[in-house]
Amino acid sequence: MVKCPRCGYDNSSTAVYCDNCAYLLADSDGKRINNQKRESSWNMGFGKKIVIVLGIIVVAFLLFSFIYNNTQPSEQESLNVITDDGSNLQTSSYPYQAVIEYDGSWYAEMGDPNYLVKESAEGKKTYTLDCAGWERVALDVQKQDYGEGPLKVQLVRNGEVVAENTTTQPNGRIVINYNY
């Protein structure tokens, strides 16, 4: 019996190639080749090494995809909702408020720049913006009655004013784009 130096398989004494891995055991004259098992490298063919590396890459990609998809906000969490509840309470889910002050009537578009909620009102109003998943917050407020009083718009984050603007123009319009 001849033991294969690559895979360790016991071959017949007349075998020229290993019956398990096709490793050369004897030269063309039938003389046994004194091959030492290599200790510093993998004892498998190049094709098997490629298959293992590709398998590792596929498993890593699938694991990354699974983690990425499970860390994204759900559809319910990413809805852009504006409410007029009048409260000043701030939570981590609703960190932003839009405060609009004007003695006359006004029109506003507020929220994510790609999904703005439209609102018309009179006087001072505070809107809680559900924008936990947004990268940017946009406010676009304009006077509707062309009055001369001041129109003041504030963007408040967790109780602190992060952006503010005022106009007294009769057709006054204020645009605030805030990136966080």
Sign of the CA dihedral with 155 first, then 161, 165, and 166 last:
positive
Sign of the CA dihedral with 120 first, then 122, 123, and 126 last:
negative
What is the structure's pLDDT at 92? 47
Q: Classify residue 161: in a domain, yes or no.
A: yes
For the segment 103-113, the average pLDDT, to the nearest whole number, is 87
pTM of the model: 0.47
pLDDT higher than 80, residue 83: no
What is the structure's pLDDT at 44? 72
> Do 132 and 158 belong to one domain?
yes
What is the total count of domains within the chain?
3
Look up the domain containing 11 and give its range.
1-41
Least confident of 40-44, 75-79, 108-112: 75-79
> Do 173 and 86 belong to one domain?
yes
Residue 125, amino acid:
K
Task: Compute the mean pLDDT over every residue in the chain, rounded to the nearest whole number.
Answer: 79
> Do 93 and 148 belong to one domain?
yes
> Do 126 and 49 belong to one domain?
no
